Amino acid sequence: MEESQTNNVPVMKLRTNRGLLKFILLTIVTLGIYAIVCFSHVSNEINKVAGPYDHRKTLHFCLVFFILTPITAGIFNLIWWSMLCSRMDDELARRNIEYKFGAGTYWGWSFFGSLILVGPFIFLYKFFKAMNLLNADYNVKG
C-alpha cells in the first residue's frame, strides 16, 4: 500500500508561496506582466490538481485575457473567473480542505466588492490562499 501512495506524489512541486503583497508589488514593477504570468500558472495548476478527478479543463488565462475577453466585451472574463473559483471550491471539498471559497467569493468580493475599493484585494488574498492550500495538498498527496 505504501508503494501506491508514493507513486501518486508529483515529481515537480507546485507553487505554494503566492501572496497578495508580493503580487501587488511585482505587478506594479512589471507593469502588469506578473499578473498575466501568475494567472497563467494558476490556470495550468488547477488543471493539474483537479483534472484527473473532475475531467474538466480550465481555459488558459492568456487565451481568455488576450482573445476571448476583448471579443465578448469582458463578459467571458467574468464567466471564466466564476467557473475557476467554482472548480477550486469543488477541489477543496474533494480534498477535505476546510476553507470557504467559491464562485460566491468571486462575485461578492471581486465583482460587487469593487464598489468599496478593497473588495478585489480581499478576493485576491482569499484566491491565493485557496490555491496555495490546493497546491500544498497536491504536493503531498498527488
Query: What are the tens digits of pLDDT across the range 28-44?
Result: 999 999 999 999 999 99
Angle, vertex CA 62, rays to CA 15 and CA 52, nearest 5: 55
Place 7 in a pLDDT band, splitting at 50, 70 and 90.
low
Q: What is the mean pLDDT of residues 2-22?
A: 76
Q: Is 25 helix (H, G, I), strand (E, B) or coil?
A: helix
Tens digit of pLDDT for each residue in 80-135?
A: 999 999 999 999 999 999 999 999 999 999 999 999 999 999 999 999 999 999 99
- Whole-model pTM? 0.90
Place 12 in a pLDDT band, splitting at 50, 70 and 90.
confident
Cell 480550465 identifies what position? 58
Give the number of other Cβ atoms within 10 Å of residue 30's Cβ: 12
Mean pLDDT of the chain: 92
